Structure 1
């Protein structure tokens, strides 16, 4: 069952990494995953660069989604915060490794920030997912 419609208006840029608009049908459970940093299960940062931390952030996010009965394919909206001065492109490349060409990419917001709550964290990823109601 398709619960989301992915819309890219013709007058806006089309990008394989994100969709401009995602409409979710009423027959879905909505899951909100709070910001995930590149930390391991003990809370220690994994990697000193934005790419390594992005990979770990996404692994943590996928763990959260699975705990709620969802998967990365159910994500309809990402918010990605990157510490100012870090390479957005390196973070994006790591993100694309994880997304791996799946169809229907979510809507996305990327923002540069002065800092994050976890000391030394360079990236934080949050997500909204929509799972079909059984």
Structure 2
């Protein structure tokens, strides 16, 4: 069973980096992963948006693995980037992690004045659908 149906209406922009809408069928478990920043397991925070985004994605993958899922189970990302940062560095980190996999998740990116953790430049949360 496919984890979801990925919808890109012909009347809308098609982009290989994201899907416009994702429909998750009944029978799936839903995993909500809270916002992850770029802290590693020792509490060190990267000094660039790219480094923090890569670590945040590593942290998200650890959460997915703990639930028996992988990055392919993610159906929605929300990415918060501190104003003044170039979001392209974060997108590049995502592309390195996602690679050439088909059916990228839906995505929301927002610039914010700041995040709860001093020094954090990015925070990424995810919703994943896991076969039940």
TM-score, normalised relative to structure 2:
0.97
Instruction: Give the 4+ runs in structure 1 shifted more than 3 A.
Output: none
- The match for 1:91 is 90
* CA deviation vs aligned residue, 1:4-41 (integer Å, no higher than 9, x gap): 00000111100001000100000100000000000011
Gaps of at least 5 residues in structure 2 are: none
* CA deviation vs aligned residue, 1:66-110 (integer Å, no higher than 9, x gap): 111111000000000000000111111111001112110000000
TM-score, normalised relative to structure 1:
0.96
> Aligned runs of 1:3-18 on 2, under 5 Å?
3-18=3-18
> Aligned runs of 1:1-134 on 2, under 5 Å?
1-45=1-45, 47-133=46-132
Deviation at 1:42, TM superposition (A): 2.8
Is residue 3–residue 27 contact of structure 1 (8 Å, CA) maintained in 2?
Answer: no
Gaps of at least 5 residues in structure 1 are: none
* CA deviation vs aligned residue, 1:39-82 (integer Å, no higher than 9, x gap): 0113221x211011000000000001111111100000000000
| Number of residue pairs matched by the alignment | 132
- In the alignment, the residues of structure 2 paired with residue 102 and residue 81 of structure 1 have an alpha-carbon distance, to the nearest angstrom, of 23
SS in 1 for 2:62: helix
